[in-house]
Structure 1
Amino acid sequence: MTMPRTPEQAAADDALADAIRATIHAYDPDNTGLLVDYVVVAGQLNADDSHVVTVVDSGPGSPTWTQLGLLEVAGVQLRDGFSHDSPD
């Protein structure tokens, strides 16, 4: 069961989705796709103990299997891109 979001959480989710759309458009102005879901992965440095924590968040109501699928596809694409990169 999903907990109701606060107004601040809803506004933050909307701002994040808008930022993702703006980033997609900035890199591919001709992209006409519809953003249907997202997963954000970030490293966060904890100031209290200097440990880096991985933070994973997704669109509101995104089921776990969708999150895992998006992460798996991204991992495959990144690994494939690395295998095609030429050494500097």
Structure 2
Amino acid sequence: MADAALSISCGKHGSRVAAVVCCHHLANAGRPAGFVENSEDPSDLQAWCDTCEQVYLAQGGKTEEFRKFNNMTIVCDLCYIALKSHHSLR
């Protein structure tokens, strides 16, 4: 059962696979903030912005300070794809 994807009910897309993004992806709808994904497992839908990546590296991992700054938010997989498209720096 550990491999089963968690699902959520998205207000826009209905019942979908859950994904995780940092709060900055949702708060910063205008200017792209960067989109750093888990490169070790591309099927693991987790990402944060470039600023979160800088804090993560400075803190040496997922410290309490990092978690507060990141303030992860659960979204559906389709919202994740849309956020990735918007926030990926070209």
Length-normalised TM-score, structure 2: 0.26
Higher CA-based Rg: 1
Bigger helix fraction: 1
Length-normalised TM-score, structure 1: 0.26
By relative contact order (CA 8 Å, sep 6+), the higher-ranking structure is: 2
